[in-house]
Structure 1
Amino acid sequence: MDVLHDFFKLLDSFLGSAVWFPYALLGTGAFFTIYLKFPQIRYFKHAWRVVTGKFDKKGAPGDTTHFQSLTTALSGTVGTGNIGGVALAIFLGGPAALFWMWATAFFGMTTKFVEVTLSHKYREKTADGTFSGGPMYYMDKKLNMKWLAVVFAVATVISSFGTGNLPQSNSIAITMEATFGFEPWIVGSVLAILLGLVILGGITRIAAVTSRVVPFMAVVYIVGAFSVIFFNIENVGPAFVSIFTDAFTGSAAAGGFLGATFAYAFNRGVNRGLFSNEAGQGSAPIAHAAAKTEEPVSEGMVSILEPFIDTIIICTLTGLVILSSGVWNEKHENIFDRSDMYYVQGSLSQDNIADSTNVFQYLNKLDGTTIEPFNGTIAVVNGVAVSDGFTLINARSFAEEVTYHVGSLDDLFSGTLIIEDGSITRDNIIVHGKSLIHSATLTTLAFTKGYFGDFGQYIVSIGLLLFAFSTAIAWSYYGDRAMTYLFGPASVMPYRVVYVFAFLWAAVSDTTLVWTLSAVAIVVMTLPNLVGILLLRKDMKDSVKAYWDKVKVAK
């Protein structure tokens, strides 16, 4: 697993974590925002009228209503990105990361408007009578770039696992175990069976389920979030100030948080923003392609609302819960994930300015750091290390009160541990201690700091269960549409079987490995789509003009 994680981290360093990627994503959204004269603002009111059925026509071709298409697409985006993803962004980049999530959402509203409109315009009716669409269809039919369409479709299949399946199952299992004590394999097994029952029904059943689940889960989560925000209302103002003041400078060290540079906060905020709302990724257009309408632009209007609901509203609430509660920069007892642990040379201390600066440079990938991995042995007696010459960094923080266990927390370890290149070589060692925490675990803890007290963790658990499960449902549809494009309808059933088993596997896998895989999969899918919509910019502009000409005539 360590080797696999290192491989995905290497890929991510050239893709999502590379300097150029946030600029490519935001740049595309900014270009279309200017090119189409700020449609996310000008068409916002009209979008609400469309989604409520104001312009519906009886007998229009398609499989789902505007509202069902919106909720299906939202179910694909409102998931662990809103709960675990926001927490991960703040954990990595501090409050500044939330600002860049907002920026991604604002420009993403236009990007999604473009990709959904084009995908709906070039959709096809399949042999079974349903509609199939997505970026691969406009790449193929309009651009005559079959090779790019194939690349996108393959990336969609991969991303259906990396975005919609693995991290969703993993986050559910972790949260359910922490809250209710359920074994991850039991949670994974039950949900895998339910997932199979839903996705076998295709888009009709998927749309019926998501149109009921999405509104309910949003209300529950919002109520829980406000219970924390109002309880810590005196911290909300300073939280907003830090989001804006840190946006162009990076976030300073606070508590156990060692700080983040502007570049790091910017990159992580944009990256997590994309994972949250998927604007530019090309996934939501697949759901919207099934909408009942003869006007592709009207469906594009509906999609403008997705990043607004997903990121501007829900992610902001999550971010304010985490920041106002103060848990984001505090160290908490937890079991350390292997992927989060790193032993370095020397007995370093967070209280030493030189040591903290050195580790800050290392974590933010800056020149000048002298941090080197520790290689050697550690003597442990009754769970406590008795040798020195090393420092354990866990979850980007100095680990404290560390104890070593073998097999379970009930059995303290005594003996010698071999450390190679900063990592423990023995597999059955459990490391426990205090450090920063991240992902869904951080959000869960933050929700206990409100009026509901410890009961708040159940809101997160239920919300995450519904959010993440509905995301997995939606992404199974995206994947099977891509498989249909690549290999025909016969390939869909084998894909669904693998999809369900992967959902079970992810429930018992390493958290950090899953998040790193998802980061790679997202970018692999996004790049071909950005190329496609930029090439069709004039087609898009002409489509919008033609749509408004028809609306004016209808009036």
Structure 2
Amino acid sequence: MVNLITWLNNNIIWGIPMLVLMLGTGILLTVRTKGVIFTRFGTVMGNTLKTIFKPQQDDSEGTITPFQAVCTALAATVGTGNIVGIALAISVGGPGAIFWMWVCAILGMVTKFCETTLAVAYREKNEQGQFVGGPMYYISKGLGWKKSAVAFCIFAVIASFGVGNMVQANAVSGGLESAFSIPTFVTGIVLALLVALVIIGGIQRISAIAERLVPFMAIMYILAAVVVLVINAEKIPAAFGMIFKDAFTGTAAIGGFAGSTMMYAARIGVARGVFTNEAGLGSAPIAHACAKTDHPARQGCWGAFEVFFDTIVMCTVTALVILTSGLWTNSDMNSSAMSLAAFGNAIPGGEYVVSIGLVLFAFATIIAWYYYAEKALEYIAGKKAVRIYQAVFVLLVFVGCVSEIKLVWELADLFNGLMAIPNLIALVALSATIVKLTKDFFDDPKTIRPNTTSFHSFLKFKKSSKKK
């Protein structure tokens, strides 16, 4: 089974067709939006980073604040992919994989901006009066493709058991066992209980936890990485040199490293890039759709910021720490041990910082992915199915802690790819809508638009504005 799924991932799901679809969609959306995310990057930062400590507009529609929404999305993206996933990408694809991860992230900023914008534009209220949205809503409402929307939801629910649950739980138990000798079954029981306590509180509790946890763990991890890079400062230029050179030439065998081709490095870089920032996957827009905002594209800016912070910042510092350590050629180390050793060899106790960070990252990812799957399941089966899903999800947290999950890693990649396909096709098909919303916002980003958070209300607002 593992061999079959690995073959599917390598040759089909994450083969040339997916590279073309993923990167091609990013390029097309960049051209259609005239690269506004980059030409107006200051505006993007002004509507994200600079607004974190500003009071929220009281008349904005939504369930949670924009910062809570992006923290919930970052909780899902900033996880094992930023630590273990980067080490894995380098160890199997070589340093050149990081270059292709950057390419994926640059185009992913545009893709995430677009899918977040659409998620807010086509969102609606559920029976509890909360805003819900995501690819299933803009696929069905914007294109009328009900079956594709249902397929996306099915893939999302299945993916949540892997990438959003067992993979993360296994990383937590493994990290605590190696750093503090805590038995995996003990971690499994405690982690399952903590997850249960959070997820029963719904999006308000999940976003409140994420709002506090994500900034804390990100700052702690980045500070540790900066200390390591200061110690290894003389090796940083060589690390960048390897990244750019090997991206186009492949990596020759060095020490225990088997070597890789340019195409293999590109495939690994794109796959790991999507795994960590989830651009094009369609998962994060489900969280962004809840945000209090006056315009879909304003929240779209938070989507672009999310990819920038996750990959350009977090993944880059991790990659530099690993490359400057020289451990990436050691074939006897797994990716988790490599990350721990890269920090621990440079600063005393560095491995403990990474272990704690890994635990916090993974826990945040679990609760965020639960919400994604809950909304996907609610879309296709209603609220009654959610309680059953909660019980299964919590049980699998324990199973992930105590099990060997090589198959689960492969399944995670498989269903990530399957989720991305209907979402990316929908982004292309709805690109004209994206262009209209993008142009309207960036023509006058400082103006607060009352009640224009859905595409239909946006059109009504435009018509009334022209009459005036």
Q: Does the TM-score normalized on the shorter chain lie above 0.5? A: yes
CA distance in 2, matches of 1:26, 1:154: 24
1:305: Cα distance to partner? Answer: 0.3
> C-alpha deviations, 1:197-245, integer Å up to 9, x for none?
0010000000100000000001110111122222222221111100001
Higher relative helix content: 2
Equivalent residue of 1:259, what SS? coil
The answer to whether the 8 A contact 1:175-1:444 is kept is no
What amino acid sits opposite 2:149 in the alignment? A
CA distance in 2, matches of 1:72, 1:17: 26
Alignment of 1:155-304 (within 5 A): 155-304=155-304
Residue 403 of structure 2 aligns with which residue? 509
What amino acid sits opposite 1:449 in the alignment? N
The answer to whether the 8 A contact 2:119-2:134 is kept is yes
The aligned length equals 446
Quick check: 1:89 aligned with 2:89?
Answer: yes
CA distance in 2, matches of 1:149, 1:475: 18
Residue 145 of structure 2 aligns with which residue? 145
Instruction: Give aligned-pair identity as a percent.
Output: 44
The answer to whether the 8 A contact 1:15-1:520 is kept is no
Quick check: 1:48 aligned with 2:45?
Answer: yes
What amino acid sits opposite 1:529 in the alignment? N
> C-alpha deviations, 1:243-298, integer Å up to 9, x for none?
00111111121111021111111100100000010000001100000001231111
Residue 21 of structure 1 aligns with which residue? 18
CA distance in 1, matches of 2:386, 2:138: 21
Quick check: 1:37 aligned with 2:34?
Answer: yes
Residue 446 of structure 1 aligns with which residue? 342
Quick check: 1:127 aligned with 2:124?
Answer: no
User: Which structure 1 residue ranges, 5 or more long, are not aligned?
Assistant: 332-434
What amino acid sits opposite 1:261 in the alignment? T
Of residues 475, 480, 502, the one that matches 2:369 is: 475
The answer to whether the 8 A contact 2:99-2:269 is kept is yes
Residue 458 of structure 2 aligns with which residue? none
1:56: Cα distance to partner? Answer: 4.4
The answer to whether the 8 A contact 1:119-1:137 is kept is yes
Higher relative strand content: 1
| Root-mean-square deviation (Å) | 1.6
1:136: Cα distance to partner? Answer: 0.3
1:19: Cα distance to partner? Answer: 2.1
Q: 1:43 to 1:11 in 2, by over 3 A?
A: same
1:174: Cα distance to partner? Answer: 1.3
Q: TM-score, normalised by structure 1?
A: 0.78
The answer to whether the 8 A contact 1:15-1:523 is kept is no
The answer to whether the 8 A contact 1:277-1:311 is kept is yes
> C-alpha deviations, 1:10-46, integer Å up to 9, x for none?
3323433322212211111111112111132133322
Larger Rg: 1
1:55: Cα distance to partner? Answer: 9.1
Of residues 518, 523, 526, the one that matches 2:412 is: 518
The answer to whether the 8 A contact 1:199-1:205 is kept is yes
What amino acid sits opposite 1:111 in the alignment? T
Q: 1:35 to 1:438 in 2, by over 3 A?
A: farther
Equivalent residue of 1:246, what SS? helix
What amino acid sits opposite 1:440 in the alignment? S
Alignment of 1:457-496 (within 5 A): 457-496=351-390
Quick check: 1:542 aligned with 2:436?
Answer: yes
Quick check: 1:533 aligned with 2:427?
Answer: yes
The answer to whether the 8 A contact 1:80-1:440 is kept is no
Equivalent residue of 2:60, what SS? coil
The answer to whether the 8 A contact 1:43-1:301 is kept is no
1:477: Cα distance to partner? Answer: 0.3
Equivalent residue of 1:15, what SS? helix
CA distance in 1, matches of 2:40, 2:367: 29
Q: 1:554 to 1:276 in 2, by over 3 A?
A: closer
Quick check: 1:110 aligned with 2:107?
Answer: no
CA distance in 2, matches of 1:550, 1:323: 44
1:513: Cα distance to partner? Answer: 2.3
The answer to whether the 8 A contact 2:37-2:44 is kept is no
What amino acid sits opposite 1:457 in the alignment? E
The answer to whether the 8 A contact 1:99-1:269 is kept is yes
Q: 1:217 to 1:311 in 2, by over 3 A?
A: same
Indicate the larger mover: 541-550 or 122-131. Answer: 541-550
User: Which runs of at least 4 in structure 1 moved beyond 3 Å after TM superposition?
Assistant: 13-17, 53-56, 548-555
Indicate the larger mover: 297-306 or 507-516. Answer: 507-516
Alignment of 1:428-447 (within 5 A): 435=332, 437-447=333-343
What amino acid sits opposite 2:434 in the alignment? M
> C-alpha deviations, 1:163-189, integer Å up to 9, x for none?
211211111111111111111121121
1:472: Cα distance to partner? Answer: 0.6
Residue 74 of structure 2 aligns with which residue? 74
The answer to whether the 8 A contact 2:74-2:214 is kept is yes
1:518: Cα distance to partner? Answer: 1.1
What amino acid sits opposite 1:209 in the alignment? I
Q: 1:548 to 1:231 in 2, by over 3 A?
A: closer
Q: 1:325 to 1:552 in 2, by over 3 A?
A: closer
CA distance in 2, matches of 1:481, 1:268: 30
Equivalent residue of 2:47, what SS? helix
The answer to whether the 8 A contact 2:294-2:448 is kept is no
> C-alpha deviations, 1:398-431, integer Å up to 9, x for none?
xxxxxxxxxxxxxxxxxxxxxxxxxxxxxxxxxx
CA distance in 2, matches of 1:304, 1:55: 21
> Taking CA–CA contacts closer than 8 Å with sequence separation of 6 or more, which of the two structures ends up with the larger relative contact order?
2
Residue 329 of structure 2 aligns with which residue? 329
CA distance in 1, matches of 2:58, 2:98: 42
